[in-house]
Amino acid sequence: MTPQPGTPVLSLRDVGVRYRGGDGAMVEALAGVTLDLMAGEMVGIFGPSGCGKTTLLMAAGLLERPTSGAVQLAGIPAAAVATEAALRDFRRRHIGFVFQKPNLIPVLTAAENVALAMVIDGVPAAEAERRAIALLAALEAAHRAGNRPASLSGGEQQRVAVARALANDPVLVLADEPTAALDSRRGRQVMEVLRSIARERHAAVAVVTHDPRSIDLFDRILEMDDGRIVAERRPGAQA
């Protein structure tokens, strides 16, 4: 179900993540983060290394259960999704992920990589492949549908990864440094694609990045430090 623009897709309430470090001491990776991501908006998450950006993404993506606070996605409390299997089903239907590395399956073609996410969701292979090619076409990568990742450029691989993230029409797209391995032109292209996903599909898009070159594409920018959101601003406005 496509959410209405401006309605909350993801809500984090006072979310904390603590774990025991290698030296036995407790590490507070997230310290009481509260955040709402709205349908149709793209949010940039900035901050120094080790500030908790990736941990925030993991908590938002239901990859890491918070030690405190609450996460709600598409109106459903994450705590209500009890088992790992149910969590995986939930994630498949609601969340798309994009990473610094495309993490494509090397033995599959671009179209098959995209289709795989749908096949896993129970879509017949032929139908999944048809939809995958349509998705790749939307990302201007359909001409490489039959190629394996090894023969694609970095930018093409990343577009395939984005197409895969969109395969099951997620309400939330989480991207972790998606442009870090790309040159500025290709990086910009990928960010524009993410931006169009937010605009056209009304998905909430959160991008963890160090890259300030595409800052103008974000609706909001969150600054993190020491596991906290320390600043929030809109591009063009003063922090």
Partner 1 sequence: MNYLAWRDITANLMRFFLAAAGVGFLLTGSMGMLGLYRGVLHDALLTIEGIGADLWVVQGGRAGPFAEASVVSATLDRRVEGVAGVTSARRFVQNNLQFDIQGKPRRIAITGLDFPKDQGAWLSLAEGRLLQSGRGEAIADASLGLSLGQDIRLGRDSYRVVGVTSGQVDMSGDGQLFVTIPDAMDIADSRTPETVLLERAQGLGVSADRPSRIAAVVVTTEAGMVEEVARIIGAWGDVAVLSREDQRSALVDGRLWRLRMQILFFTILLLTVTGVVIAMTIYTSTLEKLHEIAMLKLIGARDGFILRMILEQAVLIGLFAYGLALLLSTLLFRFFPRNVVLLAEDLTLVFGGLLLACVVGSWIGIERAMRVRAKEVLA
Q: Which residue has the tokens 């908790």?
A: 52
User: Among residues 41, 176, 211, 219, which is the contact residue for partner 1, using CB under 8 A?
Assistant: 176
User: Among residues 91, 144, 159, 220, which is the contact residue for partner 1, using CB under 8 A?
Assistant: 91
Binding segment for partner 1 (CB under 8 A), chosen from 2-10, 17-25, 117-125, 222-230, is 117-125
User: Among residues 34, 75, 79, 88, which is the contact residue for partner 1, using CB under 8 A?
Assistant: 88
Q: Which residues contact 13 (CB under 8 A, 6 or more apart)?
A: 34, 69, 70, 71, 72
Residue 116 makes contact with partner 1 by CB under 8 A: yes
Buried residues in 180-204 as b, exposed as e (16+ CB within 10 A): ebbeeebbbbbbebbbebbeebbbb
Residue 220's alpha-carbon distances to 38, 72, 215, 223, 233, in angstroms, are 11, 20, 9, 10, 6
> Contact letters (x/-) for partner 1, 48-67, by CB under 8 A?
------x--xx----xx---
Name the residues that contact partner 1, by CB under 8 A. 54, 57-58, 63-64, 85, 88-89, 91-93, 97, 99, 103, 105-108, 112, 116-117, 119-121, 125, 164, 167-168, 176
